[in-house]
A and B are shown apart, each in its own frame.
Chain A
């Protein structure tokens, strides 16, 4: 039985390049940057990009105000849409489909309140904000 040849070994220089990009989360950075560009379509994309990067830089130091397409007011509006009667909580399936729709991969699948199928607004916005921050801090600390 022939022994399968192993996958071609990446060129060592290529490998360290890929490592560098991964460590500094460059692909995510450009992903978020492009999303912002698609949404805002600024007249001067270079200036916009510089702004975004400066905001990111400041946020890295202060720990707050990361550039993000989803703001806290958006989270409030979203929750209000899911809970029009104003009960103050949503079902777990509402929670999970919203998290997916927001693009928050790897969100917390066992938030408090899952057992009785009542996710409060606080839980929802906390989990969403936590995950958003993780996705938006595209720098290695």
Chain B
């Protein structure tokens, strides 16, 4: 259908449905698999693909010699329950169809890269690997091998590069010991085995002389370019546990979705915390409409609608407007086209736990990010009681932050009627009363607290970081 003739109206429900079921990623995986494998019968291929599609880890661990790759590989394997593939093992279990392609005395170094890639491809397509995921250690060692792997469609999701200064590595290599029975790796200083029995068994691995190390280090550096987008460099000069936790959290993270993402942001905070300022900055930078509930209410009053008439008394008395009046107004606004397509930044709502719950209940209205701008009462007071407006030019001033430049301007400055100390305190109290329940409700969903007593730019940076990064749900 030609879109210019019949503008396609995809309902917001579908966008949410697609987001919730990660349809975008699913389609992307299907099509990229199709392009890699180019099956002759894509329909059967897709059916099989969908049946076994799972989010398994696909990790490659690289590092110069003595950086701890095999150690980490083993730890990861236990934790993620994926299949550990080490180049040396592959050598010992070569399937028969490749045997005649091998050079007479095959070692890790003299097998051509294309053959390696084929061996790995064979291994990786094995049922266990497809089901549990795989961890490749110490391959590829050079750029040729890396390109060969890519050519065969083996694309790791994460590539971890352990880095450490050369002298640290050489020192480590000197102290490395292997337990011949279990093949576990130990070190005379950093990782001593627990029992005396194991200690006695340890042997020194060959090929760790200083000269050999230098050579291997040089080769290794070139591989990194091939995997730039999925690469993560980790400092190997740290205690083993630290390294491991970093890698584990990185490898078990879900891929950052590049699906179209409509931000639905709620900014909470007491009066004077700068919600409107932050909301305006977000709106300007990301082209997201601001939904300010107080403004919506005032619009109703000004347009003299019957709804506005019922709201007026509450605003006059500075008490909360009941939910029954609010819900319809908010729903209507959020269902308007600009909000459904671009998302929204909401200020002034929810104020209570019930309101938060009702917001969460309607799928189109559930927020994706919630921010608490925290600020102590005295700073809020300071900000609000000292600000004033110049009624002639519309400029805003603050006696401390931005004092009026001339005496004339200072004379005519007017303060907003609700910016006096008593009103500010009353509004701040209203917020505090409900703060705990809002905190309880939103914390488990990953609400982010930002210290709002800093300058506008710093606060905005913190909020932006919260929007862009993934949520940490408790």
Does B260 belong to the interface (CB within 8 Å)?
no
Give the complex CA separation of A34 and B1 in angstroms: 14
A38 in complex: contacting residue of B2, B10, B53, CB < 8 Å: B10
In the complex, A105 has a CB within 8 A of chain B: yes
Tally A residues with Cβ within 8 Å of B: 25
Q: At the interface, yes or no: B17 with Cβ under 8 Å from chain A? A: yes
Q: Tell me if A65 is interfacial: C-beta within 8 Å of chain B.
A: no
Cβ-closest chain A residue relative to B8: A38
Residues of B within 8 A of A46 (CB): 26, 50, 53
**Residues of chain B within 8 A of A50, CB atoms compared:** 47, 50-51
Q: Considering the complex, which residues of chain B in the window 1-40 have a beta carbon less than 8 Å from any beta carbon of chain A?
A: 1-2, 5-6, 10, 13-14, 17, 21, 23, 26-27, 30-31, 34-35, 38
- Find out whether the CB atom of A53 lies under 8 angstroms from the CB atom of B35: no
Q: In the complex the two chains form, is B43's CB within 8 Å of A139's CB?
A: yes
Query: What is the bound-complex CA distance between A53 and B38, given in angstroms?
Result: 17
Contacts of A54 in B (CB 8 A): 47
Q: Please measure, in the bound complex, the distance between the C-alpha atom of A22 and the C-alpha atom of B27, giving whole angstroms.
A: 17
**In whole Å, how far is A54's beta carbon from the nearest beta carbon of chain B?**
6
Number of A-B contacts (CB under 8 A): 52
A38-B14 contact, Cβ under 8 Å, with A46-B26, A49-B50, A50-B51: yes
Which residue of chain A is the closest to B22 with respect to CB atoms?
A: A45
Q: Which residue, A29, A37, A53, A56, has most C-beta atoms of chain B within 10 A?
A: A53
A84-131 contacts to B (CB < 8 Å)? 100-101, 103, 105
Instruction: Give Cα A139–Cα B45 distance, bound, in whole angstroms.
Output: 12
Q: How many residues of B contact A (CB 8 A)?
A: 25
Complex contact A57–B47 (CB within 8 A): yes
Residues of B with C-beta under 8 A to A100 = 5
Please give me the residue from chain A that is nearest to B51 by CB atom. Answer: A50
CB-defined interface of B48-85 with A at 8 Å, one 1/0 digit per residue? 00110100000000000000000000000000000000
Q: Which of A30, A38, A105 contacts B27 (CB 8 A)?
A: A30
Which residues in B have their C-beta under 8 angstroms from that of A26?
A: 31, 34, 42
Is B44 an interface residue, CB under 8 A from the partner?
Answer: yes
Cα–Cα distance between A49 and B47 once the two chains are bound (Å): 8
Q: Contacts A26-B42, A30-B27, A41-B17 hold; do A20 and B47 have CB atoms under 8 A apart?
A: no
Known: A24-B42, A26-B31, A46-B53. 15 other contacts (CB 8 A): A20-B34, A20-B38, A21-B31, A21-B34, A21-B35, A26-B42, A29-B43, A41-B14, A45-B26, A49-B26, A53-B47, A57-B43, A57-B44, A100-B5, A139-B43
Q: What are the nearest 8 A-B pairs in CB distance? A: A103-B1, A53-B47, A17-B35, A45-B21, A24-B42, A57-B43, A50-B50, A38-B14
